[in-house]
Amino acid sequence: MATILPTGVETKFFAKAESTYNANSGFAGTDAVPLNSLEITPTYEFHPSKEQVGSASLQREIAGLKGGTWSAQFYAKPNGTTVTVAPDAGVFLKAAFGNEDTSGDVTYRMHDGSNEVNTTTSLQIARHTGNALYECVNGAWIEQCDIELVGNAEVVINVSGGFASYGWCYGGQMSGGHSTSDTTIQMYSGTSERIGVNARIQFSDGDDNSGAGYHVTAVDNTTDIITLSPGISGNIGADTFIQPLTPAQTLTTNNPLGGVGCGLSIGGTALGLISFKVSYKTGIHGLSAEANATAANRLSRGAREVTGEINSYFLTSETATEDISRILGGAWNGATLALIARAGADTTKERMKVNIPSARLSVAPISLPETEEATVNLSFVARQSATAGDELSIDFD
């Protein structure tokens, strides 16, 4: 096997909602997501033994929980073709909010139009880089979703959370040939560690199980045998390279939204903005306290929190649309106002709106540099407005 060095330009990402929590399944081309970045941090706990045996040296460790954390960033990017078709990365927003409504446009919200969503959606997320770097996490959940709109910059969405299981494939070679329907594959001695359970693989001779790949269900690092499901579809010769399965991508071709031509409304009044950010803590978390668990074996919901910041020039004017000072002074009343931040020009199929119908703006200082313009940074907390789960929604229309 030739030496392979993965490079970032080869990277592709895939994500899908799980039908069964922490149960691996293959990806299709339509599961591709155009991420700017994906960071995966697996963890495996080991607890030091506290046995006293007359030495200061650590004698042994006890294996603990497995799992990890992940974070991703992607552009705010409508589908661009059809107003009722979700954006490429919509799977992350659906998992964060709970409901994806495509009846008139694409809206992500915490209720279904009548009732608050009280179920959770888990994800399977993968990163592919060439023929020798594949990572996949299962049982993933979203703990936080941040949307950032900055003048003359691309509008980005950051999501992060945890996961229950981790699979990988770093490539490797078979030792000897195998026949049709074989489910156990012998690798060269000392190389099976390159492949982990839950990897999706194919063979360099072209056998990819008609595009579905093979699911690695077990790895024996003592015998260097990996177990596949289903069995291989044809005979495979000796020394064939085992590599990650990477489906072709199916992505939209529209452009990300930029920080020009955007809009902000506070209490029904259009105002200027330098930047806008909303941070949504979902309250979703993994449960791993049961003694029979080796990782988070189910998800649960907790209290959620929606906060944010608006940065603007400190303008005072007789014209309401220029008067941010009125908004700042009104913060001392403790009242709530409706916020609507629009990313992109006010054009159908080319915009995203962040809706916060009841936000309490906090009192804030005015920043007055020695020679530059005065600015104000308004922070806010979102509350329920009329019905449970209505404190934040996102529209692609």
Predicted pLDDT at 319: 82
- What confidence tens digit (pLDDT) does each residue in 217-259 have? 999 999 999 999 999 998 999 889 999 998 899 998 889 999 9
d(CA 152, CA 149): 9
First to last CA, the chain: 50
Predicted pLDDT at 3: 77
Planar angle of CA 25, 186, 294, nearest 5 degrees: 45
Q: Partners of 366 in the beta sheet?
A: 376
% helix, strand, coil for the chain, step of 5: 10, 45, 50
List the single range of 34-38, 153-157, 176-180 with lowest mean pLDDT: 176-180
Q: What is the mean pLDDT of residues 25-45?
A: 96
Return the SS3 of 320. helix
Predicted pLDDT at 246: 87
Q: Which residues contact 229 (CB under 8 A, 6 or more apart)?
A: 183, 214, 215, 217
Return the DSSP state at 153.
S
**How many Cα neighbours within 13 Å face the side chain of 12?**
19
d(CA 375, CA 187): 64
pLDDT of residue 324 exceeding 60: yes
Task: Check: CB of residue 226 under 8 Å from CB of residue 185.
Answer: yes
**pTM for the whole structure:** 0.94
Task: Grade residue 2 by pLDDT with cuts at 50, 70 and 90.
Answer: low
Task: Grade residue 194 by pLDDT with cuts at 50, 70 and 90.
Answer: very high
Task: Grade residue 68 by pLDDT with cuts at 50, 70 and 90.
Answer: very high
Lay out the sheet containing 225-229: strands in order across.
Answer: 172-173, 241-244, 200-203, 214-220, 225-229, 184-186
Task: Check: CB of residue 88 under 8 Å from CB of residue 34.
Answer: yes
Task: Check: CB of residue 243 under 8 Å from CB of residue 171.
Answer: yes
Task: Check: CB of residue 70 under 8 Å from CB of residue 39.
Answer: yes
For residues 1 and 270, which has the higher predicted lDDT (pLDDT)?
Answer: 270
What is the chain's mean pLDDT, rounded? 95
Reading the block at residue 235, the tokens are 């005979």
Q: Which residues contact 298 (CB under 8 A, 6 or more apart)?
A: 21, 286, 287
Task: Check: CB of residue 347 under 8 Å from CB of residue 386.
Answer: no
- What confidence tens digit (pLDDT) does each residue in 333-381 have? 999 999 999 999 999 999 999 999 999 999 999 999 989 999 999 999 9
Domains of the chain: 175-239 (no CATH), 263-396 (2.30.110)
